[in-house]
Amino acid sequence: MATILTPPETPEKAIPNYRQQIRRELPDHVFRPDHQNLLWFAVHAAIIGGSWYVLRNHFSFWVAPFLSIAIGHSFGCMGFIGHDIAHGGTFKSMRMRDILAGIAFSPFWISPLLWRKWHNGEHHGHTQVDGEDPDALFTMEHYKNNPVLRFLYRLSPVLRNIIIFGSFSFRMTQQNLRMLVLYLFKRPTKPREKVQMVLELVLQASAWIGVSWYLGSQVLIWGYLLPLLVANALVISYIATNHFLNPLADESDVLGSSLTVTLPPALRWLDPWHQYFGAHVAHHLFPQVSARNTRYIEDKAKELFPDRYHSMPLTTALVLLWKTPWIYETHTTFIDPQADQRIGTLGHGLEEEFGLKPKDNPHLR
């Protein structure tokens, strides 16, 4: 486990009770389960099934790449649906959550039990807490002990970023398998739970690989394997921007540990397809709330805490990730160890560094 970084010496303002204050402003219906996102299963089943039919019966190298992108997008969207279901936004019943989330997560081979332990428990319970959040970025301790990181930072920034951003195409699957290994061999896990996690993964992988292989190699390659790269890239593009620019934070500082991102105006229609996953501040405030209500909660968070709430376009956040080293020197500072360059995190100098002060950018609040 990484050494815990020393918090900044300058005392921060007392962290408000965000949830309590925002909850008073929200109507009760916002917290009711919403079954409408289940209709998206039919949409994505039609896209995937129709694309597989074309790949099997009317294959063309001119059409196949576009079908792979469409299928991969649907895989990613199914992951967003599974994420919402697993948090209880659709059903309160744990059995129903596991069944439906298992189907939605199946292209990525994510066991719903593993997801609840890893994502719902560890990530949401300790968001951006060094040594506790399994999805947080690297610290100098990681850098000193990880030869892969040391190699990456000996490369030019451009080449390093090409490799890092290229890893988006498999990073969700990689993190899933990494967490499975941790729960099998290092995390306290009951034997029954270990068996369940492995069986769920095997069932998911067997179903997708087996059926696509049965339909032909062109369906396996263009209809599953390549789309999985697209799906990984889509999901990780959101996950990276939702947290990787933020400081390492106190466990209770929800607004300090998450960033909300918005799609460009021309792509705003995709927000419901993506289950409003970019509204990540609202999601971490109230994980159990249906995705359809998160943008409404975002408005309340911005209204009540304008000095602590952060939002920006997804494209802007990706550009900042390209320009920012991915290693924490302190809770609020990134460092490029080879170049000895430092950049503050979001809310601690990042905006000033890149000319994105709130008064200059209406998207950053």
For every residue of the chain, which 3-state class applies, written as one string? CCCCCCCCCCCCCCCCCHHHHHHCCCCHHHHCCCCHHHHHHHHHHHHHHHHHHHHHHCCCCCCHHHHHHHHHHHHHHHHHHHHHHHCCCCCCCHHHHHHHHHHHHHHHCCCHHHHHHHHHHHHHHCCCCCCCCCCCCEEHHHHHHCHHHHHHCCCCHHHHHHHHHHHHHCHHHHHHHHHHHHHHHCCCCCHHHHHHHHHHHHHHHHHHHHHHHHCCHHHHHHHHHHHHHHHHHHHHHHHHHHHCCCCCCCCCCHHHHCCEEECCHHHHHHCCCCCCCCCHHHHHHCCCCCHHHHHHHHHHHHHHCCCCCCEEEHHHHHHHHHHCCCEEEECCEEEECCCCEEEECCCCCHHHHCCCCCCCCCCCC
Asked if residue 28 has pLDDT above 70, the reply is yes
Model confidence band, residue 12 (pLDDT cutoffs 50, 70, 90): low
Asked if residue 204 has pLDDT above 50, the reply is yes
Mean pLDDT of 94-116: 96
pTM score: 0.91
Model confidence band, residue 13 (pLDDT cutoffs 50, 70, 90): low
pLDDT at 361: 46
pLDDT at 5: 53
Q: How far apart are CA 39 and CA 268, in angstroms?
A: 20
Asked if residue 311 has pLDDT above 90, the reply is yes
Asked if residue 6 has pLDDT above 80, the reply is no
Q: What single DSSP character describes residue 156?
A: -
* Mean pLDDT of the residues in the chain: 91
pLDDT at 285: 94
**β partners of residue 139:** 328
Task: Tell me which of 43-57, 136-150, 192-206 is least confident.
Answer: 136-150
Asked if residue 298 has pLDDT above 90, the reply is yes
Mean pLDDT of 147-158: 94
Distances 116 to 82, 101, 178, 197, 293 between C-alpha atoms, Å: 11, 10, 15, 11, 22
User: Is pLDDT larger for residue 151 or for residue 16?
Assistant: 151
pLDDT at 10: 44
Q: CB of 256 within 8 A of CB of 350? A: no
Asked if residue 162 has pLDDT above 70, the reply is yes
Angle, CA 60 vertex, CA 57 and CA 64 arms, to 5°: 95
User: Is pLDDT larger for residue 182 or for residue 14?
Assistant: 182
Distances 295 to 196, 212, 264 between C-alpha atoms, Å: 35, 37, 15
Mean pLDDT of 208-230: 97
pLDDT at 49: 97
